[in-house]
């Protein structure tokens, strides 16, 4: 039996929180561990085309649809937040929400979480451009991060079919602060790399949760990923790190992500190849390969002998 699958995920109560970042209101949501003390505190970092609402789907008959519930049921305190420009946070008309602009957001969030009595060091799990956000924050503030999980990550962008196609619209991305969202586009983020990997019963609720709060999103991370990579120096990521790579994920090539992994200096690192998964691991049919791999990395004991 795979780690964690012997526990039934149950729906947990969420608590809303607010703080400020860059002069704007920033939204956070917390779910608390069913065990005391908690194994640790996990902070989820969202990607380019949605806020954090997709981390807490409520689908009848599918308790695992919320990754927050999955981890709280298994002993973690879990937080999510909307970067400025997304979700329930403020959406300034001039805010691109670049990868670098997420760093002050993460500083504000980690300050707030610590003030609620959580540990000084949190565990971060970032998805897609959220992985870049989490990695850059860790690079600049390693003292705040205990473990780092990077899912759907890209390093240099070399060999990425998704970014090659996206770059064809660079004039469009750079010509406006925000781009419109549609159900068709959001479906494409789940199906563009492989049409059969998506868990169909999660696709529509996922899309509806996003469109309930967003009709457009900032262009900053799209510009960054097409024009400014690499944004993170692996040699400066000193904390334990896991890279979770979907077999069909077109955001990066295997060689690109493996190069990043090889340069990480901390020997407490993992490259986790997830078969049958494309870009959106949480809405894939093989989502448990993602959930259990992340759980294993974040729940494991620290090493006694470090060499």
* Sequence ranges of the domains in the chain: 14-299
Beta carbons within 10 angstroms of residue 171's beta carbon? 7
Q: pLDDT digit string (tens) for 225-278?
A: 999 999 999 999 999 999 999 999 999 999 999 999 999 999 999 999 999 999
DSSP 301: P
Q: How far is CA 40 from the centre of its chain?
A: 17
The answer to whether the predicted template modeling score (pTM) of the entire model surpasses 0.95 is yes
Superfamily of domain 14-299: Alpha/Beta hydrolase fold, catalytic domain (3.40.50.1820)
Rounded-to-10 torsion of CA 188, 293, 259, 130: 50
* Distance set, CA 262 to CA 41, 236, 244, 271 (Å): 27, 13, 14, 9
On the question of pLDDT at 82 being above 90, the answer is yes
d(CA 190, CA 33): 30
pLDDT of residue 266: 97
pLDDT bin (cut points 50, 70, 90) of residue 3 is very low
pLDDT bin (cut points 50, 70, 90) of residue 4 is low
On the question of pLDDT at 39 being above 90, the answer is yes
Q: What is the chain's length?
A: 307
Q: For the residues of 118-167, what is the DSSP string, one character each?
A: --SSEEEEEETHHHHHHHHHHHH-GGGEEEEEEES--SS-TT-HHHHHHH
Question: Contact, 299 vs 75, CB < 8 A?
Answer: yes
> In the predicted model, what is the mean pLDDT of residues 153-178?
96
Q: pLDDT digit string (tens) for 96-152?
A: 999 999 999 999 999 999 999 998 999 999 999 999 999 999 999 999 999 999 999
pLDDT of residue 230: 98
């Amino acid at each position: 039996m795979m780690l964690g699958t012997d526990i039934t995920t149950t729906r947990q109560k969420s608590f809303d929180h607010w703080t400020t970042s860059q002069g704007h209101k920033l939204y956070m949501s917390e779910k608390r561990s069913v065990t005391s003390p908690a194994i640790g505190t996990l902070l989820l970092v969202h990607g380019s085309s949605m806020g954090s609402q997709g981390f807490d789907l409520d689908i009848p008959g599918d308790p695992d649809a919320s990754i927050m519930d999955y981890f709280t049921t298994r002993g973690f305190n879990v937080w999510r937040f909307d970067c400025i420009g997304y979700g329930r946070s403020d959406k300034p008309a001039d805010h691109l929400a670049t990868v670098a602009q997420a760093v002050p957001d993460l500083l504000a969030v980690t300050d707030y979480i610590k003030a609620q009595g959580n540990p000084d060091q949190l565990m971060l799990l970032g998805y897609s451009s959220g992985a870049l956000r989490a990695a850059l924050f860790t690079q600049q503030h390693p003292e705040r991060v205990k473990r780092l999980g990077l899912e759907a990550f890209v390093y240099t962008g070399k060999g990425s079919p998704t970014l090659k196609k996206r770059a064809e619209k660079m004039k469009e991305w750079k010509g406006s602060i925000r781009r419109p969202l549609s159900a068709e586009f959001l479906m494409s983020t789940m199906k563009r790399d492989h049409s059969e990997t998506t868990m169909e019963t999660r696709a529509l609720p996922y899309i509806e949760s996003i469109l309930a709060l967003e009709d457009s999103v900032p262009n900053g991370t799209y510009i960054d990923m097409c024009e400014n990579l690499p944004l993170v120096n692996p040699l400066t990521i000193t904390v334990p790190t896991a890279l979770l790579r979907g077999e069909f994920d077109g955001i990066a090539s295997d060689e690109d992500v493996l190069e990043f992994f090889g340069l990480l200096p901390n020997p407490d690192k993992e490259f986790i190849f997830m078969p049958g998964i494309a870009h959106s691991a949480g809405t894939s049919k093989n989502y448990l390969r993602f959930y259990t791999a992340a759980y294993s990395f974040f729940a494991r004991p620290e090493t006694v002998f470090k060499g």
